[in-house]
Amino acid sequence: MRKNQDLLHLARSAAEAAAGFIRGAKRPSGPDEWGRKSTHDFVTSIDREAEQKIRGVLLGGEPGSSIMGEEFSPEGSVGSGLVWVVDPLDGTTNYLHGYPQYAVSVGALVDGELAVGVVADVDRNVYYHAERGAGAWRGSERLTVSRITEPGVSMIGTGFPFRHPDLMPRYMRQFAGIMRAVSGIRRAGAAALDLVDVALGRFEGFWELNLAPWDVAAGTLIVREAGGIVTDGEGSTNMIKHGSVVAGNSAIHAWLQAIVAEP
């Protein structure tokens, strides 16, 4: 298996291949061309072709590795060895409507631990990356989470539990309490980029009640390497699972996590 720096280069190449394809592809013209995975959750030929671009690069570079992701079948399993955790198009609904907030997310687990992560902001053609123990970066600029520690002057990112309407009552209680305490809440619809915004210091924190590993793997490492904290709502640091996500600098993370942990 390659060193983390080599894995990072491979992840970046895969993200570039998928992002370049998405930027150059003709966007589906309307709902008749959209596939539907579930209510309010869409998939297109663009997702699937981006998946194939990523698969070709990653498995071509590391033939013995496996891939876990929303559009990948069968899913890889977390264990020993190298597992790529991939979302070929995070924010598909945004993409379909021409809203410029969608990403390619490529993370790598080595023996169950996050080793590298790359998030491509597709529309803006900007790439963010992190390597375990080596920081989080946008090009040559090192990323650092916000130093703001007071909720009252914080801006918080969120995501709606649109796939799980049964979670809406709980979410709305959280939303109301957090909204009263902070300077603003934003929901842009692509969790990978929401986590990048935490790493950039644009958001002091971010929370969502139900995300998948491929939504957050790369972004989790980027936030952590920028000096932030990412856990689930109960405080577990294991993010390679389905469930809640809380991210932020240490002070805002602790404040948000206490709210999200409430039943």
Domain 4-142 identical in fold to domain 151-260:
no
Residue 202, pLDDT score = 98
* pLDDT tens-digit series, residues 32-43: 655 555 444 456
Quick one: CATH architecture of 151-260?
3-Layer(aba) Sandwich (3.40)
pLDDT at 78: 66
Q: What is the pLDDT of residues 107-134, one digit of tens each?
A: 999 999 999 999 999 999 999 999 999 9
Whether CATH 3.30.540.10 fits 4-142: yes
Tens of pLDDT, residue by residue over 51-96, are: 999 999 999 999 999 999 876 644 455 667 999 999 999 999 999 9
- The string of pLDDT tens digits covering residues 172-217 is 999 999 999 999 999 999 999 999 999 999 999 999 999 999 999 9
CB 209 within 8 A of CB 170: yes
Question: Going by DSSP bridges, is the β-strand pair 184-186/136-138 parallel, antiparallel, or unpaired?
Answer: unpaired
109 forms bridges with which residues in the sheet?
83, 114
Sketch the domain layout of the chain as residue ranges: 4-142, 151-260
Burial class (CB in 10 A: 0-12, 13-18, 19+), 133: exposed
SS3 category, 129:
strand
- What SS3 class is residue 247? strand
- Cβ within 8 Å of residue 255, ≥6 positions away: 151, 205
Residue 164: which region, alpha, beta or left (left: phi > 0; alpha: psi -120 to 50)? beta
- The DSSP bridge partners found for residue 99 are none
